[in-house]
Chain A
Amino acid sequence: MMRLLVLTVMLVAATPAFAIAPIAEWQMENGLRVLLMEAHNVPMVVMRLTVPAGSSMDAPGKEGEASMLAGMLGDHTARHDYRAWADYLDAEAIRFGVGADRDGMSFSVTALSEASEQAVSVLQEALLQPGWDGKRFSILRSDAISSLKKSLEQPQVRAGIAAVHHLYGAHPYGHRSSGSPQSLAKLTISDLKRLYRAQVKPDQAVLAVSGDVTMPQLKRLLAPLASWKGKAKRAFQRLPDPEAAKPAVIPIAMPTRQATVQLVRIGLDRHDTMLFPALLMNHILGGGGFSSKLMMEVREKRGLVYGVYSYFQPLAVDGPFVISLQTRADQAAQALAVVRKVMTAMARGKISKRALDAAKANLVGGFAHRIDSNAKRVGLMSMIGYYHLPLDYLQRWQQRIKAVTLAEVKQVAARYLQPQAWSTITVGPK
C-alpha cells in the first residue's frame, strides 16, 4: 500500500541547476541525432531511439497500427525467430522493448556496459531487419485484443477512452495508441510494412544514451547504424491543431463502488511559450502531490478521496489536460463541486505569491532528483532531442522555473481553469 499513488505521466519534463554534465551531441551522416550523458557509477548503458512512427500516424480505421508495428519489431527479426531472439536477448541480459505513443515510436535497450556492443547490434537488427512473421502477427494481435478487453475492468481506462474520443474526435490523437479490438481486427501485415517503410527512418530520429560509455566509444559502437538510410515521409509535428471539444457530461456505467471522475480539456503543446507558467499552475492545482490545492481541499480537509491529481501532456500539438479523482459513488457530486470551486478560484486569480514560491522551491530543489538515474536522463534527452528543444534545456530549467511571474501563472489559470470549458466523464454505478 502506498500513501500516495505515484504517477508515471510524462509531465513537462524538468530539470537542473547544479553542475550537471552537458548533453553531448553527434549527428551521423544518415541524419540520426545522438545525445549522450555519461554516468560511470553503475556499469550499465541505457539507450532509447525514437522515430516518427507514433499512433498519430495510424490510418483512419487502422488505429493501433503503430503499436502493433512496435510489437512486431520488438518480437523477432529476419535473422532470429521469436524464440531465438528471446533466448539471445536473455543470454546477453539485454532488456529490449519497442513501444509507440502518440508522437513517436521508441526502441529501448538496457544492458550491462560489457554488453554495449551487443546492445547496439540488437537495435540495428530490430530496426533494419524486420521479420514480418505472419503467424506471430496473428498471435500478437490476438493477445493485444485480449489485453484491451481485460483492461476494460479498470474504470480509469474506460474514462481515458471516452476522453480521447470526446476531446479529439477525428483528429490523429482521437484514439488510444493501442487501438481498439475492432481496429486491430482489421489490421494486416501490409499496413505495418507500409508504416515501417514510410516512417522508420533516421532523418528525424533521435538516439538518447546515458550510462557507462564515452562519446568516442559510442561513435565506434554505432558504426553498424550507418547503413540505416532514408527520410521519413511525414514529420510527426505536422498535425492539425485540435479544435476545442464542446464541453459535455459523459456518464459511463460500471458496477463499481466508487465513481471515477475525470475533468478533461485540451491543453498545451510542447513549444507553448506559456509552458513553464502552466507547469507551475498545474503544480499548485493538482500536480504537486500533498502540497497541491486539490489534495488539500478534497482529501486532507474532507477525506473524500484517496487520490486526486491533475496533469497535462504537452505534445506536438495541444495534448490533453486532465483532473482525476475516485470517491465512493454517493460522494462524487460533492467532490466534483469542491474541484470546481478550486478551479474557479484559481481562474479568477486567487493564487498567492506564497503558493507560487512553494511550488518553485519544490520544483527547483527537486531538479537533481529528476535526473538521478540513467533511465530518467534518457527519457529527458529523448524529449529534448525529439522535440528540438535546446541542448542546454536542462541547464536552464531551474532558471526558467524561477523566472515565472505570478501574473503569468494567473494568466494561464484564467486561460485553462474555467470549469465551464471542461468536460466531465463519470465512470461508476448508475
Chain B
Amino acid sequence: MLLALLLPQAAAAAVLHKASFANGASLVVEEDHSAPVAMVQVWLKVGGRDEVPGKTGLAHVFEHMMFKGSKKLAPGEYSHRIAAMGGNDNAFTSHDYTAYFETVPSDKVDTVLAMEAERFAHLRLDPSEYAKEIRVIMEERRMRTDDNPNARMFEELSAAALRLHPYRNPVIGWMQDLKKLTIDDVRAFYKAHYVAANATVVVVGDVDFAHVKKVVARTFGRMKRVAVPPRFDPVEPEPLGPKRVEVHLPGVQLPMVAVVMPVPVWHPGKNDREAAALAVATAILANGRSALLSRQLVDEQRKAFSVSAGYDPFSMGIDLWAAWAMLGKGNTPDDLLKALWKSISKLAHDGPSKAQLARTIRGIVADEVFAQDSLYLRARQIGSMESVGLDAGQRERWLQLLRQVTAKDVQRVLSRWIVPARATTGILLAKGKEK
C-alpha cells in the first residue's frame, strides 16, 4: 500500500500578508494558528555596510544599546517586561541588517509592538550605559573572534579577499575601532538610520493580519517620515589572480584551509538562471550526506576530516562564496587545495549526474519545508529577504528556479565563477610550529 495516499496533502505555501505605511515602514504577517505563540521581529535595513571607515562595529552597538533604556523604559526594563509576559527576546546584526525579536504568547503581540516602536523612536543612549556596554561588546569580540582561531582566520581572509565591498569588515568591528567609538558616533548613527523607512515588522504565528496592521499603523506607522539615502553598495573589482594569506595563531591544534571568492547574488528577473545554478552547484558540493566534496576529499582521498562550502544568494551586491576544510593529522594544506580544485573542476567539466542533481534539488526544497517547523526561521527568512530588497513573496519563485537548474547550468557557473584565479586562499596554522 502506498502510504503517501493515506497522508494529508502537502500544505500549500503559507500566505504572506503585507502592508506598507506612508512613512515607509512596512509589515509582513504569516498566520499560523497551531499554537498560541507569535514571533515578532523588527528588521532594519541597517548593518555593517552602513558604517564608515574607522567606525566599524557601530551597527552592532545598537543590538546592545536598544536594551539600555528609552524615554519610557529604564535600562534593562525592556527584557524584564518581555520575560514577565513569558517571552524571550534577542537580537542579531549582519552586514546587511539588524533585527530585534521576541517570542511571546500571542495575546501579548500588541504590547510588544508598542514597546518595540517606543524604543525605536525614543532611544535614550545614555553615556554611562554606553561606557559599560562597549566593554561587554569587547568581551563578545574576544570570545567570538580573538580567542577563536577559525573565526579569526575568516576575518583576516575576508579582509584580504575583498577590496571595496563592506563584507571585508567584521560586523562586530575591529577592536581598534571599538576602542575609539564614542557616544556621539552612536547618536549620529541612530539619527541617520533608526527611521521608519528602514523598518520592516515581521510577525509569524497565532495572530490576525488585519488586527496587527492596525496596531503597526498606530505605532511604527505614526513615526516621522525621514528620507533615507541609497545604501552603500560598491561594485567589487574583479580579482586579478589568486591570493593567499596565512594566519599564524597560538593554540591552533590542527590547520584549517579556506578558499573564498566574490560571486553574484540573485537579482530577480536579471540573473535567475545563474544565481539558481550557483545555489544548486554549491549544494551539490556541500549539502547532505552525499555531498561531493566530503565524499571525495574526506571519505575517499583522506585529505581532511571535514569539508564544507556555502553560498548565500540573498546577500546584497555580492556574496563571498566559501569552501573550507578541517585538516587532520598528516594532512597538508597544499594536498587539500590541489584535491579541492580537482574535485570542483571535474564537476565543472563532467557536470552532475541526473540522480545527483535531482536529489540535491529535492533536498533544498525539503529543507524549506523543514524550516517551517520553526517560527523563528520562518520570520527570519521573510525579514532577511525584505531587508536586502528582495520581496519575501518571491520565495516560491526561487524554489521554481532551483527546480529548473540543469547539469549544463551547473557546469557553466562553476567554470565562470568558482576558479582558482578568482580565489583568495586562507591557511590557519599554529604559531611557532609551521613548517
**CB-based contact B139/A306 at 8 Å:** yes
In the complex the two chains form, what is the Cα distance from A361 to B88 in whole Å?
A: 12
B179, CB-defined interface residue at 8 Å = no
**CB-based contact A41/B11 at 8 Å:** yes
A339 to chain B, nearest CB (A): 15
A399, CB-defined interface residue at 8 Å = no
Segment 211-230 of A: residues with Cβ below 8 Å from B: 212-213, 217, 220-221
**CB-based contact A362/B143 at 8 Å:** no
In the complex the two chains form, what is the Cα distance from A85 to B289 in whole Å?
A: 9
In the complex the two chains form, what is the Cα distance from A165 to B6 in whole Å?
A: 52
**CB-based contact B289/A365 at 8 Å:** no
Of A4, A213, A289, the most chain B CB neighbours within 10 A belong to: A4
In the complex the two chains form, what is the Cα distance from A223 to B36 in whole Å?
A: 35
Interface residues as binary, B22-38 with A (CB distance below 8 Å gives 1, 0 otherwise): 00000000001011110
- Which of B150, B172, B360 meets A153, CB within 8 Å? B150
Chain A minimum-CB-distance residue to B374: A373
**CB-based contact A93/B362 at 8 Å:** yes
A124, CB-defined interface residue at 8 Å = no
B135, CB-defined interface residue at 8 Å = yes
Instruction: Name the B residues within 8 Å of A128 (CB-CB).
Output: none
Given A42-B11, A42-B372, A114-B7, the answer on whether A86 and B289 have CB atoms closer than 8 Å is: yes
**CB-based contact B11/A288 at 8 Å:** no
B299, CB-defined interface residue at 8 Å = yes
- Which of A113, A258, A368, A372 meets B143, CB within 8 Å? A258
Instruction: Name the A residues within 8 Å of B395 (CB-CB).
Output: none
Instruction: Name the A residues within 8 Å of B87 (CB-CB).
Output: 362, 365-366, 369
**CB-based contact B253/A91 at 8 Å:** no
Instruction: Name the B residues within 8 Å of A197 (CB-CB).
Output: none
A189 to chain B, nearest CB (A): 18
Interface residues as binary, A104-134 with B (CB distance below 8 Å gives 1, 0 otherwise): 0000001011111100000000000000000
**CB-based contact B76/A307 at 8 Å:** no
**How many interface residues does chain A have, given as a range?**
35 or more
Chain B minimum-CB-distance residue to A74: B289
In the complex the two chains form, what is the Cα distance from A4 to B6 in whole Å?
A: 44
B257 to chain A, nearest CB (A): 13
B27 to chain A, nearest CB (A): 22
Given A112-B369, A300-B76, A358-B80, the answer on whether A2 and B90 have CB atoms closer than 8 Å is: yes
- Which of B36, B140, B302, B369 meets A43, CB within 8 Å? B369
In the complex the two chains form, what is the Cα distance from A369 to B63 in whole Å?
A: 23
A213 to chain B, nearest CB (A): 7
A383, CB-defined interface residue at 8 Å = no
**CB-based contact B373/A44 at 8 Å:** yes
**CB-based contact B79/A326 at 8 Å:** no
Q: List 17 A-B contacts (CB under 8 A).
A: A43-B8, A86-B290, A86-B295, A112-B10, A112-B369, A116-B7, A145-B329, A152-B253, A290-B79, A290-B80, A290-B83, A303-B132, A306-B137, A361-B86, A362-B83, A365-B104, A372-B37
